[in-house]
Amino acid sequence: MGLVDYSYEGFYARFDPTSQKDGALLMGADNIVGDDYEIVFKTEGERIVAWAKNRFDAEVGFFDIDTSRKLQLANARGQSIRGLLAFVAYSDTPEPGNYWGQMALFCFNPAYATEMNAFVDRCAAKLASGTRPNIDLGSQAVEKIFSEPDWLPSETVPLPKKESGSAVLKDHQTMSEKAINQGRAGNKGCYAVSWAFIIIVVLAVLYFVAHLAGVL
């Protein structure tokens, strides 16, 4: 197995929207932790910049020079590239503040798309649950993707060190976001049940508050 050209690279990287207004869209239902993003390349001046585009064809942010170069090289080698939303954050500096986020990025040989895409999908599920798997894998770990169909790295990666004035706003899928994903997948039964459960919880909270207030 060690002689097979798996050509894999995985890493986490920051991305930034072009404005606070555009960044605020990251808090909406069109951008959910674990979602898939297409990586596209745009020529800006004398350099090529990699951008992340969500499933609704909206460009949500760009990567820095180093990350753009790594992704451009992977693209030039003919590798497949997948990006997963890992988290969304907000920083109040520089003024007037800005949203930003991090992607889990996977570059791999398209000849092994079946196994690699299944692995990326498993990582997406982990991110959705709030777990950040270590995706920077050595050759022996990569081989496990092929020899163990359900394999995932046990090692995790912590969130970046929190800086003053910064906060992570999204790092997992909420119950309502899971319901939205069920609807996207066409699972109407689960979608309806999920929303019914949410409504019941909200009504229970309202009843409890009203009871404490002496209304009921």
> In this structure, are residues 101 and 15 in contact, taking their beta carbons and an 8 Å threshold?
yes
Residue 3 binned pLDDT confidence (cut-offs 50, 70, 90): very low
Reference 134, options 112, 158, 115, 100; nearest CA is: 158
Q: Is the pLDDT of residue 212 over 70?
A: no
Half-sphere exposure of 98 (CA within 13 A, CB side): 11
181 has pLDDT over 90: no
What b-and-e string marks burial along 85-118, b requiring 16 or more CB atoms within 10 Å of the CB?
A: bbbbbbeeeeeeebbbbbbbbbbbbeebeebbee
In percent, the amount of the chain with pLDDT more than 70 equals 81
pLDDT tens digits for range 113-153: 999 999 999 999 999 999 999 999 999 999 999 999 999 99
Contact, 87 vs 104, CB < 8 A?
no
Q: Tokens 């689960």 — which residue?
A: 190
| % of the chain beyond a pLDDT of 90 | 69
Q: Is the peptide bond before 94 cis (omega within 30 degrees of 0)?
A: yes
Q: Whole-model pTM above 0.85?
A: no
**Residue among 183, 179, 181 at smallest CA distance from 202:** 179
Burial class of 165 by CB neighbour count within 10 A (0 to 12, 13 to 18, 19+):
exposed
